Amino acid sequence: MALFKSHLNTKVMNQPLSEALNKLMSLYQSRKHPLDYHNLYQLVVMVVLSAQDSDKHINQLAPSFFETYPTFETLSLAQPEDLHSYLNSVRNFGNKCIWLTKIAAIEKALENLPLDLPSLVQLPGIGRKSANVILREAGRPAEGIIVDLHVLRVAPRIGIAEGSQPEKVEQQLMRLISKERWGEIGMAISFLGREVCRPTNPKCEVCVMNAVCCFYNGTHPDNRIFSDPSLFD
């Protein structure tokens, strides 16, 4: 049974696409996540805050938050309302304050934070994308592939996934890409989306994926991704 509809990149297991993915990964290999965190506690807090908000915004407000709440221990003593004055410019801050205080109450200390995907996604406010980010930044073996808004835009353009549901796109990528690449490929595609494959005016001429990209090579029939870029940024 064919895994994908015919417009998807059937060259995925072929040499050119494999080489292009290797090139992409080596370009961004081990590059730190754009969230400006200094330890895993800060990363967890910032990953929760950055959902549906921008990394830049979270980087701006994080220092004053961490001055008051530098550890899980200090955060575990807070009520959600105590965090509002620091975080009220964050999208969905009410729920995020509840989630952060709950996570802190559960973990109480950084050494209690579980570093495996099934346990991380049990924590409030942490889905698969966030858990995959935490595992990558912690240097743990990948158990999935990071699929953020950039990956949701870029992977269908390349032709290695389709649809707009992150978990479905992740499953497609996990079936197509060998496990040893899982830890880096999601962030590599995300960095490509941030720097090269922007919603409008993607820099295809300088893109390392252009030789195999379905969109660039005119084999992708879906131009909607350019007609409504606000959906993807």
Positions touching ligand SF4 (CB under 6 A) are 154, 157-158, 196-197, 202-204, 207, 209-210, 213, 215-216
Considering the complex, what minimum distance in angstroms separates the CB of residue 193 from ligand SF4? 8
CA distance 36 to 208: 27
Q: What distance lies between CA 66 and its chain's CA centroid?
A: 23
Query: Min. distance of Cβ 121 from ligand SF4 in angstroms?
Result: 29
Closest distance to ligand SF4 from the beta carbon of 229 (Å): 12
Q: Is 69 exposed, middle or buried (0-12, 13-18, 19+ CB in 10 A)?
A: buried
Q: Is 206 exposed, middle or buried (0-12, 13-18, 19+ CB in 10 A)?
A: exposed
Smallest distance, ligand SF4 to C-beta of residue 158, A = 5
| Residue with Cβ nearer ligand SF4 (90 or 158) | 158
Q: Which is nearer to ligand SF4, 125 or 199 (CB)?
A: 199
Q: Which is nearer to ligand SF4, 135 or 207 (CB)?
A: 207
Please state, in angstroms and rounded to a whole number, the distance separating the CA atoms of residues 22 and 108.
Answer: 40
Q: CB of 55 within 8 A of CB of 34?
A: yes
Contact 43, 112 (CB under 8 A): no
Question: Which CB, 173 or 197, lies closer to ligand SF4?
Answer: 197
Which residues neighbour 207 within 8 Å (Cβ) at sequence distance 6 or greater? Answer: 192, 196, 197, 213, 216
Nearest CA among 82, 75, 118 for reference residue 100: 75
Task: Quote the least distance from Cβ 160 to ligand SF4, whole Å.
Answer: 10
Please report, for residues 82, 149, 182, the alpha-carbon distance to residue 155 in angstroms, rounded to integers and kept in the order given. 40, 10, 14
Cβ nearer to ligand SF4, comparing 167 with 222: 222
Distance in Å, CB of 176 to ligand SF4, minimum: 16
| Closer residue to ligand SF4 in complex, CB, 96/181 | 181
